[in-house]
Structure 1
Amino acid sequence: MPLCPQFCALAAPGQLAVDVLDAGSLLTAFGALGVAVVLFAETGLLVGFFLPGDSLLFTAGLLCVRDGTGVHLSLSQVLLAAVGGALAGAQAGYWIGRRGGRALLARSRSRHLHEGAERAEELLARYGHAKAIVLARFVPVVRTVLNPLAGALEVPARVFLLWQVIGGLAWTVGLVLAGYALGSSIPNVDRYLLPLVALIVLLSLLPLAREVLRSRRTRRDRGTAGGEA
């Protein structure tokens, strides 16, 4: 089975462009190959922070269930593409950081990237290298920024490689199999694809929202303590 069976049809002249923010559109157009490319960009390139990693993995898992309707993907191909894209992307981001990640972040005007960098630094300071690298995989934007930031902060290469592999496997395999398991247990689950993807996006944003609130509370407490002093 080819990695992107729908690509030729959708790439023909006159067809609508693929929506890179829509997991279903990406998977319909590019199949498992799209999973690898998107995860590489989201985890390895700072410009990919807006890409839908969580919803893409979950949706890809759903589409691996053969129900005779719509798009069908190969589970083995999706898993290989997801793991390969996520691990290669993280390593690319790390080496980009070693060669000037701080400068790249400083030149960026994206508020989301700068906020993600703050969260990434807080994770590294709060949990240490190993736990922060694993946890960052599950937080949008932070998983984009932490890899080059780890390189810029000169986290040991062997330490980064070990824990980014562990985190990458947990994130990619976990979400793909979660989607596959749900699709296998609910008949015609594609009918509920949009609300399910919306739920996954919402859940993926909860860790980031919690970290933002915790950071604001900490700064407010420090300001109060400084005022009292």
Structure 2
Amino acid sequence: MTGPLSSILGLGLFGVFCLALTEKILPIPPSHVLLLFLGMTAAPDAVTLAILMLVTTLASSAGCLVWYAVGRRIGSDRADRLVDRFGRYVCLRPSTYHKLGQAYRRNHIRVSLLAQFIPTVRNYLPIAAGALRLPALPFAAATMIGAMLWNAGFLVTGYLMRGSGKDTLTVGFRIIVIVVALETAFMLALRYGPAWRRRIRLALG
């Protein structure tokens, strides 16, 4: 393994923290790719794996708090305009952002947790939380739990793959395809679900 990534990982846990934090600010590469890679290459034993879970969870939570602070600073109207103008450049549909932002008003703890399982949204929805001035402590706690579950799933999968004797690149690619398919299904349900339910109610009279 050579290149900038090798240099960053050469910094040890600090390098891992920087990678996970950067992924939260700008999701390149996507988190599941990064976490699978870390699980396969940076966790020689279970103890190191547990430490990686802790470090990446703290880094992911810190990244969310950065965007939360941005949202709190600029306010709701400017946050909405920011997403409307630049959301498409980071694969964040403004309609999805606004729907989840509205859901924040109903149950901000549940949405903060579930948002960690939706690509791109998990990076930028904290802007809405900050813009709406949701309580910081519950937001941080729910975000940390969601990030821990998300990170642990991919880190453990990568860790188990390294000793399986199978082609790790092929298996990793298949896992990523499945994850993307599930995420796409979730996003379609979020976008079209209400319309489908209305049609069903009308059909049933």
1:207–1:154 Cα change, 3 Å:
farther
Q: Output the CA distance in 2 between the equivalents of 1:162 and 1:79.
A: 16
Residue 42 of structure 1 aligns with which residue? 23
Q: Output the CA distance in 2 between the equivalents of 1:118 and 1:225.
A: 25
Report 1:93-172 matches (<5 A). 93-100=67-74, 101-108=79-86, 110=88, 112-115=91-94, 116-118=96-98, 120-121=100-101, 124=104, 128-172=107-151
Does 2:26 correspond to 1:52?
no
**How big is the shift at 1:177?**
2.1
Aligned positions, number: 190
What secondary structure sits across from 2:42 in the alignment? coil
**How big is the shift at 1:141?**
0.9
1:34–1:123 Cα change, 3 Å:
farther
**How big is the shift at 1:122?**
6.6
Instruction: Give 1:211's match in structure 2, choosing from 171, 174, 186.
Output: 186
**How big is the shift at 1:155?**
1.9
1:89–1:221 Cα change, 3 Å:
same
1:50–1:110 Cα change, 3 Å:
farther
Gaps of 5+ in 1: 1-5, 11-17, 19-25, 68-73
**How big is the shift at 1:65?**
5.3
Instruction: Assess if the C-alpha contact under 8 Å between 2:71 and 2:126 holds in 1.
Output: yes
Instruction: Assess if the C-alpha contact under 8 Å between 1:65 and 1:183 holds in 2.
Output: no
Length-normalised TM-score, structure 2: 0.74
- Percent identity between the aligned chains? 24
Gaps of 5+ in 2: none
Instruction: Assess if the C-alpha contact under 8 Å between 1:50 and 1:141 holds in 2.
Output: no
Greater RCO, CA 8 A, separation 6+: 2
Computed over aligned residues only, the root mean square deviation of the Cα atoms, in angstroms, reads: 3.2
